[in-house]
Amino acid sequence: MEPVYFDHAATTPVRPEVLEAMLPFLNTSWGNPSSPHRFGRAARAGLEQAKREVAEALRVEPHQVIFTSGGTEADNLAVIGCALVAGHAGKPMHVVTTEIEHKAVLASAHVVVQHGGRETFLPVDGNGVVDLDALDAALADSPTIVSVMWVNNEVGTVQPMAEIGARCGAAGVPLHSDAVQSFGKLPIDLDAAGCRLLSISGHKLGAPKGIGALIVRDRNAVEALVHGGGQQYGIRPGTENVAGAVALGRAALLAVRELDAHVSTVRALRDDLAARLRAAIPDLVIHAVGAERAPHVLSCGVPGAEAEAMLMHLDLAGVCCSGGSACSSGSATPSHVLTAMGIDRALALGTVRFSLGHESTAADVDRAVAVFPGVVERVRKLGAVLGRA
């Protein structure tokens, strides 16, 4: 029996329409888009079309689309690049972000500190929603940039971006959002959210890995981290990944065109999965259930069961999902997201994430419901035996 895939928040398969769009730029229109001859012009035409498609999907201008290698680079460019603008102008570098951001944003804030800046981390409540009073206090300190993830990648919490953007706008502080998990799953309105910088990643919505974009609404807002040629207005120089850009453009357009139907289908599947798992495992805890959540993420904590063992048994049974904690050097460390939400350590270490996508079906949900309770029972029994030993 073929395995079922519940890890779309980690990556998605390349959609056939996206592959079809990008293939010509790998085997016929393969020129350097900076070259003046016909091969270069063909590549340039594809690149410009990709910019228009991403811009159309996000309702921005094509010149505001800066292609990157993915969401991580886009986050680094936004946070560090914005701080550098302030630093080179003789102003304090101060990054304000949340305790539950992606490591790309957290690490970027740490880099700013290493270069003489400051970082402030906003707390969240038990559902992962940012504390707006703490944001107001941080804004009173005139930070360089505020970076808040639109949708959390682990638990699916949707932040109140319009309120956050209004506060940042009133304070005159640029707002960046990592929208990697929200683009294609929720309506994205940069004007309503007051976002000046927005990160997206192709492999989360049916494009290949290695391509993403940073939307830069003010070209003077960020300074380049990579130096060399003058491509992309010098903000992200280097020969562009034309095929990847074309793929991202097509995936972005498809995501927006299909958004309503996709959200309806995926949310129904996710809610059905949640209800049936809770019925089968009465003490199952669904994280962030009290907040608005993106439709594709279901984070489940299982008391008395370790995520690492559950994931191994699920994989053997043909159900592929991911955990809510990271393991390094053989010792389990609770997820920083769940820790910030105040989740008990043992429950955090027993958390698994199911994430759905375009390929998800009712049969997939049936399979997970058939397999997961037995896996939980086996892992709990094993834990009890090892505990007694």
Residue % of the chain over a pLDDT of 90: 94
The contacts of residue 41 (CB under 8 Å, 6+ apart) are 31, 35
Does domain 16-257 match CATH 3.40.50.10190?
no
Cα–Cα distance, 32 to 38 (Å, whole number): 10
Query: Maximum CA pair distance of the chain?
Result: 74
CA nearest 214: which of 94, 72, 98? 72
Catalytic residues: 327
Would you tell me how many other CB atoms lie within 10 Å of the CB of residue 151?
26
Reported as a pLDDT band with limits 50, 70 and 90, residue 382 is confident
User: The whole model's pTM is what?
Assistant: 0.94
Q: How far is CA 16 from CA 10, 21, 44, 222, 247, in A?
A: 19, 9, 23, 35, 10
Which residue ranges make up each domain of the chain? 4-11+259-388, 16-257
Q: How far apart are the first and last CA of the chain?
A: 36
Same CATH topology for 4-11+259-388 and 16-257: the answer is no
pLDDT tens, position by position, 67-125? 999 999 999 999 999 999 999 999 999 999 999 999 999 999 999 999 999 999 999 99
Contact 231, 239 (CB under 8 A): yes
330: pLDDT strictly greater than 70: no
What does the pLDDT look like over 260-277, one tens digit per residue?
A: 999 999 999 999 999 999
- Identify the CATH number of the domain defined by range 4-11+259-388: 3.90.1150.10
Q: Which of 6-10, 35-39, 42-46, 321-325 has the lowest mean pLDDT?
A: 321-325
